[in-house]
Amino acid sequence: MNDLNQDLSAEGAASGTHDKAAEASGAIHRFVTAEQVADAIRAAGCAVTLLQEDGVTRLHSASHGIGYQVHWGNTLGPDQYLDFTLSCPLRVQGGPLPDGLVDEWHRTRRLARLATHGDFLVLEMDVVVTGGVHLDYLSVAIRLWIQMMGQFFLHLRNFRADGAGSAGGAEGVLPENAALEPAPAGAEPVLQ
């Protein structure tokens, strides 16, 4: 990936002013900026908060009443990103998740993954712009993310741990005393 970043870095440096023209003409973008991703989130109907932290713009938004963040991946230059991850961490309280919850999600869904990190259950979806994309691609990716979040919450509500998988009208995923709550803004799941 370093060779790819170096090749694209040289190209990005040469096209830094070109991307402003590309935006106006609807051309292909070889990287995205925080503002472009924020605009795509707004276009999908969600409010977005931009926070400056250590010289990096952090994006926070919400869908279905639950917050999510944008985590930047590979950079081409200042505020020039080749990929990013949309992340919705939920803290699990009151007991362990039922066996098979994550596996059933991965068997029945594509495009977004579930992971457990300590007492967090995290829905994540990667968006890659390496090679070039049109800004409409970002809007579609954000709309897809919002749809995946909705499916995630339905999956949690309808999952049956008795081996029958997801089904409407099921008891639900959590033991009586367990709860899922959004992680505090900016919380990072800790790998253990």
Domains of the chain in sequence order:
2-182 (3.30.1460)
Q: How confident is the model at residue 119, as a pLDDT?
A: 86
Positions in the chain short of pLDDT 70: 1-25, 161-192
Q: How confident is the model at residue 191, as a pLDDT?
A: 28
Q: How confident is the model at residue 49, as a pLDDT?
A: 97
Which residues partner with 48 through β-bridges? Answer: 61
Rounded CA-CA distance 100/113 in Å is 14
Q: How confident is the model at residue 173, as a pLDDT?
A: 45
Q: How confident is the model at residue 77, as a pLDDT?
A: 94
Q: How confident is the model at residue 190, as a pLDDT?
A: 32
Rounded CA-CA distance 156/173 in Å is 5
Structure-block tokens of residue 26? 């609807």
* E strand or H helix at 70: strand 66-72
DSSP letter, residue 189: P
What is the pTM for the complete model shown? 0.75
Q: To 5 degrees, how large is the angle CA 189–CA 130–CA 185?
A: 25
Residues constituting the chain = 192
Q: How confident is the model at residue 161, as a pLDDT?
A: 67
Q: How many CB atoms lie within 10 A of CB 25?
A: 8
Which residues partner with 63 through β-bridges? Answer: 66
